[in-house]
Amino acid sequence: MTGKSSPGVGAPAEAEAKAKIHAYLSGVPADQRAALQALRRTIAEAAPEAEEAHSYGVPAFRYRGRPLVSYVAAKAHCSFYPMSPKVVDDHRAELTDFHLAKGTIRFAPDHPVPADLVARIVRARMAETDADAAAKARPKRDRLSVPGSTR
């Protein structure tokens, strides 16, 4: 269900994460399990380069070794965590049917976030991760330069 692994992450770690995710999903009510499994498939299809992980006790995906998104079942709803308030804000107009909090989208199992919207959110998170990595890779003097300065 996932793409390539990140450097330093081998098959044993991936197998362990998948086993933990399976155990987690097995322990949630059937309606939530179905909604989260559909969300999981959509994320994996939108981010084939991402790897599944089990982070902070919940199923997650990592991209380029960094957290990408996660998801969880709560008592009365499910949550999708894009892990970026900016990405949630950028899609706010499309998320009016859902309860939003900082970096969180809550939904009822019988009213999931549409798959095409999930895919766009995941791709936005990937782009954000790529941009952050590119910014950190630039030499420090390039990051600190002021446009128009002669430094």
Task: Provide the domain limits for residue 89.
Answer: 1-10+32-129
Name the domain count of the chain. Answer: 1
Query: Which of the four pLDDT bands, split at 50, 70 and 90, describes residue 7?
Result: very low
Contact 49, 6 (CB under 8 A): no
Residue 120 domain flag: yes
Domain of 106, CATH number, reads 3.90.1150.200
Three-class SS of residue 63? Answer: strand
Residue 50 domain flag: yes
Give the percent of the chain with pLDDT over 90. Answer: 71
Query: Which of the four pLDDT bands, split at 50, 70 and 90, describes residue 132?
Result: confident
Residue 27 domain flag: no
Contact 124, 90 (CB under 8 A): yes
Residue 135 domain flag: no
Residue 40 domain flag: yes
Q: What pLDDT is stored for residue 143 in this prediction?
A: 53
Residue 71 domain flag: yes
Sign of CA dihedral 88, 93, 97, 99: positive
